[in-house]
Chains A and B, each alone.
Chain A
Amino acid sequence: MIVPVHKSLLEVLREDLNLTGTKHGCELGECGTCTVLVDGLPVLSCLALPVELQGREIKTVEGMAENGHLHPLQQAFAELGAAQCGYCTPGILLTAEALLGDNPAPSRQEVREALAGNLCRCTGYTKILDAVELAALRMQRSGSPA
């Protein structure tokens, strides 16, 4: 697709592709809310320019579920109450997906470190950490790829 060079990836996703699952919290790269995956790695879409991302794979929260099945992280977040207002949730889910892709059995401290760039004002993070751990456990058991 063709977009003006000055538009951020966040703006293109939300305004041109109607992928409003990606949210914005600051548009300055401070809060992690707009995180998406570029070739599997977390990127702040508010600071990324599409012009630099030609040919790269971009994954948003809309792409997490496969064949109608929620990603184990999505399932665990729903079951354990890890999404309260839900506004930071897409960015946290994708950051966690990247973590589990890299480290399928992270310790709680490793989960904390991976998510340290994503602010959440509702949960106190406890249920989020619990949900990432539960998803990791389930994915290891089922052998599902992250």
Chain B
Amino acid sequence: MKANKLSIIGQSLPKIDAWAKVTGETKFADDMFLPRMAHGKLLRSPHPHALIKRIDTARAAALPGVYAVITGHDLPRVKFGILPVSQDEEALCVEKVRMVGDAVAAVAAVDEETAERAAHLIDVEYELLKPLMSIEESLASPDVRIHEYGDGPNVHKAVSLQFGDVEAALAGSHLVREDVFYFEGNTHLPMEQHSAVAHWGPDDKLTLWSSTQTPHYVHRLLGKILDVPPAHIRVVAAPVGGGFGGKLDPFAHEIAACKLSRLTRRPVKITLTREEVFYVHRGRHPVLMWVKTGFAKDGAITGMHFRSWLDGGAYGSYGVASTFYTGALQTVTYKIPVYKFEGARVFTNKPPCGPKRGHGTPQPRYAMECQIDKAAEQLGLDPADMRRRNLAEPFTKTANHLTVTTIGLGECIDRVVEASGWREKRGKLPPGRGIGIACSSYLTGAGLAIYWNDMPHSGVVVRADRSGLVAVLCGATDIGQGSDSVLAYVVAEVLGIDPKDIRVHPADTDLTPVDLGSYSSRVTLMAGNAAIQAAERLRAKILDAVATKLEVESDTLVMRDRRVFVDGDPDRGMSFAQAVVHAESRFGVLAFPGSYAPPKRVGKYRGGGVGPSPCYSYSACVVEVEVDKETGEVKPLEIWIAHDVGRALNPLLVEGQVEGSVYMGLGEVLMEEQVFRKGVHKFPSMLEYKSPTTLETPEIHTILIETDDPEGPFGAKEAGQGPLLPVIPAVANAVHAAVGVRIDEIPISPDKVVKALELKRQGKPARLGPEKLPLFTFPEPRMIESAFGQPAEAIAERPFAS
């Protein structure tokens, strides 16, 4: 379809579910009330690390109104985890708890209060073990083991990859910088607490409704966890009230609800409290980073050596992928001819970290963009110009074998420089005010599924019938980003109808083809491409039938404005509904599949599976801040962000994703912290876990850049995660510009700014950040040839394309 003939794509339309959302009619999982429904509660460990010596449920079971009480002994003794390489979780712990919040028992009762009371009547005897609460503590205590597996005592994963001779490149550099940074962990804080309703029916089949971002993975894992054929399990995705990566694992409450329903033969609902959501976590990893980079006189990067230590928390979750992600995407923004990455994820007795918006990449992006700012200062270069001159080359490979396609970063930089008044403001603002810049890039969908297979990553069925109805069936989940609406737009565009004529059904593993889930910014691209394929197959049949009826060639026909007609002769044609009748009469039932899998261009080395993507989005951000020298408070005054989205399928929704990302990045850089004291979360509440309100969120100026990527549906790339990344270093760089201190530790809270200003006053280096690195020996690196600058391969060549 030619861009200039688009009628739906590119329009700022309301989302198809907007009306339900503004009237309160959207039914989230906790809004479900089924007849005879029981309410469940989990009993969770109050200890960060302990052996379970005894659990006695008798008092709880005897409480009137209690239907069932279960422990881990009532479930199959099988460990699970979202990644096949990290099967280390139990829904209800049997022998050992590894964090405050680990579930040990569950109750179903007549109402929530009774269930809670019963949970407190369960007697658990623990034998306390030494809790390990930091990377340093875990590495220094090899005699205390959180898990028995991994790449060393309390080391979940250690990786080392080298692409070309980094040492030689650094030796010949004009400037070599070594910097250390720390990024504190933080959490997703979705407004909706996780909730699940399970119903084990009289046919001995299970249905689970859940606020999950990935019904497919939950479906797949429930079979294993419950020891039930997956064919007897149905998972339905309820609308998700905010995900951001926090609803991407199978959770104890989902599993317990299923088992309790089987025992009680009632529907069972379990909704987490806000405090439980903090402990369930799977959020941003705390990461300590060391980065050594060589620069030429003009600012060009000659080579980079990046080390990261991740505080993984108590379980694997997505952590192996997170570890690789802290080293994968450094190479896709600027030219980096040779590159070395070493990373280690360490277990601690804290809630497990996992994928939060940007998954493993905001931390290294912060480190790298701050280091570039420092290098620019040393080299006497404008940091915007220095970045602009050294951009990666479109349609090439990076040192670590990632294929990049279109790159709109140059235009992004130009536009934010212009819009923000960068050239007039840099170095010329009054004291206490400063302006900073940073750039970034992010995946548009992961190149590989989390379990190895050759099947589609996304499937769509488009169905039409004689009523004129068009139904879109897809296993993707709308978590607020508008993915259902995007499916309606692309199908409407192909069929020449209005999005309102289309119903997009929620993910339901019985009815909708598999889509892997709402993560890694994959849905618009992958489900969008599958939907286009399905809709084009339907379109071909409709055109064929109408052409026969009108006795014309089908390529003379167009579908527009809910009609099918001869191009240039609108009266020779018929309504869309009539056209469907002709097609159904001729071909029978009209239901067409579309399948999508990414191009096969995974780097041929172990670890090469994390980082590849069909295409990458690019962002540039300028932030102006004011810093109070007395209190250390950093106030962002205005933010300009330009985002290369390939094509904005709906500019309104893209802006919304960009603004939301900017906001979340601001929270991370200025205030959000998931931190612990004696094993307990310091502030598991929305009041004390500080997040930005309307008063802390400044005006955000969003600029969309279109590069029309050959991989994307109508040229689109992602928008939901990438724009978070540059905000964090842009703020840090602006703080330096404002008051001359480097805060090499996130969040940039007022106390750190005050301390750094004090150091500056004392004539010491005006930097606040980590001073030392853990004692840790990384494995010998795998030596792989750098693929830097090689031409891209397999552009828009993908399985199932024909």
Chain A interface (Cβ within 8 Å of chain B)?
Answer: 14-15, 18, 20-28, 30-31, 33, 60-62, 64-65, 70, 74-75, 77-81, 83-90, 93, 111-113, 115-129
Contacts and interface: CB of A to CB of B under 8 A. Distances in A.
Contact of B686 (A74, A116, A119, A124): A119
24 contacts: A20-B27, A21-B24, A28-B687, A30-B686, A61-B24, A62-B24, A77-B21, A81-B15, A83-B21, A84-B660, A85-B239, A85-B243, A85-B480, A86-B20, A87-B191, A93-B22, A115-B694, A116-B693, A119-B691, A120-B191, A121-B242, A121-B691, A122-B656, A123-B660
B659 interface: yes
A19 B729 CA distance: 44
| Across the A-B interface, the 10 shortest Cβ-Cβ residue pairs | A21-B24, A85-B480, A86-B21, A124-B663, A87-B241, A124-B659, A61-B24, A78-B18, A84-B480, A20-B31
Contacts of B652: 80-81, 127
B84 interface: no
Given A20-B27, A64-B23, 13 more contacts: A23-B192, A25-B686, A27-B273, A33-B191, A70-B22, A77-B18, A77-B21, A77-B22, A83-B21, A121-B691, A123-B659, A124-B663, A126-B697
Interface of B is mostly: loop
Interface in B355-385: none
B26 to A, nearest CB: 5
Contacts of A121: 188-191, 242, 244, 660, 664, 691
B687 A89 contact: no
A74 B481 contact: no
A78 B25 CA distance: 13
B145 interface: no
A124 to B, nearest CB: 3
B700 interface: yes
Given A26-B685, A86-B26, A18 B693 contact: no
Contacts of B700: 124, 126
Interface string B680-718: 000001110001011101011000000000000000000
Given A18-B33, A20-B24, A26-B686, A125 B663 contact: yes
Contacts of B660: 84, 121-124
B193 interface: yes
B19 interface: yes
A120 B655 CA distance: 16
B513 to A, nearest CB: 24
B693 A119 contact: yes
Contacts of B480: 84-87, 122
A83 B241 CA distance: 11
Contacts of B243: 85
B191 A119 contact: yes
B694 A116 contact: yes
Contacts of A119: 191, 686, 691, 693
B667 to A, nearest CB: 9
Contacts of B663: 123-125
Nearest to A29: B687
Contacts of B15: 78, 81, 83
Contacts of B192: 23, 25, 85, 87
Interface residues of B, number: 56
B694 A89 contact: no
A87 B28 contact: yes
Contacts of B694: 111-113, 115-116, 118, 125, 128-129
B240 interface: yes
Interface of B: 12, 14-15, 17-28, 30-31, 33, 188-193, 239-244, 273-274, 479-482, 652-653, 655-656, 659-664, 685-687, 691, 693-695, 697, 699-700
Contacts of A15: 33
B692 to A, nearest CB: 8
Given A86-B239, A116-B694, A31 B191 contact: yes
A125 B241 contact: no
A106 to B, nearest CB: 12
Contacts of B240: 85
Contacts of B188: 121
A89 B25 CA distance: 11
Nearest to B192: A87
A125 B697 contact: yes
Contacts of A116: 693-695
B687 A23 contact: no
A25 B193 contact: yes
Contacts of A28: 274, 685-687
Nearest to B28: A87
A8 B605 CA distance: 58
B687 A30 contact: yes
A80 B27 CA distance: 22
B693 A117 contact: yes
B686 A70 contact: no
Contacts of A113: 694-695
A93 B21 CA distance: 11
Given A113-B695, A117-B693, A122-B242, A127 B656 contact: yes
B23 A81 contact: no
A70 B687 CA distance: 32
A89 B30 CA distance: 16
A27 B274 contact: yes
A81 B481 CA distance: 10
Max count, chain B CB within 10 A of own CB: residue among A61, A80, A120, A121: A121
Contact of A60 (B17, B24, B687): B24
B22 A89 contact: yes
Contact of A61 (B23, B189, B481, B662): B23
